[in-house]
């Protein structure tokens, strides 16, 4: 099962995806910049819930946009 949410942050569209595999969730992120260029992260880690996976993916994407250190995963 896939869970996907979108957020716009500083003109970038962030699409966070949580995929369940048995009892854990993995997170990935698609970022579309203001010019329309799109890039996708690899797996960002495993999480106990889809909400945790999506929140982490958004935090990761926002940190990248701001050129900050990305947060550690769970």
User: Does a structural domain hold residue 74?
Assistant: no
Residues of the domain holding 25: 2-65
**In this structure, is residue 22 part of a structural domain?**
yes
- Total domain count for the chain? 1
- List, for residues 1-11, the tens digit of each pLDDT value: 667 899 999 99
List the beta bridge partners of residue 7: 14
Task: Confirm whether 50 is domain-assigned.
Answer: yes
In a domain? residue 70: no
Distances from the Cα of 19 to the Cα of 3, 29, 30, 31, 37, angstroms: 6, 11, 14, 17, 24
Q: pLDDT band at residue 74, thresholds of 50, 70 and 90? A: low
What are the tens digits of pLDDT across the range 35-64? Answer: 999 999 999 999 999 999 999 999 999 999
**Are 49 and 25 in contact, with CB atoms under 8 Å apart?**
yes
Q: Is residue 72 part of a domain?
A: no
Is residue 26 assigned to a domain?
Answer: yes
């Amino acid at each position: 099962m896939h869970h996907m949410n979108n957020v716009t942050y500083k003109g970038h569209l962030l699409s966070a995806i949580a995929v369940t595999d048995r009892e854990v969730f993995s997170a990935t992120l698609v970022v579309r910049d203001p010019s329309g260029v799109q890039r996708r992260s690899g797996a960002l880690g495993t999480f106990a819930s889809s909400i945790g996976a999506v929140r982490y993916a958004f935090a990761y994407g926002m940190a990248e946009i701001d050129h900050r250190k990305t947060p550690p995963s769970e």
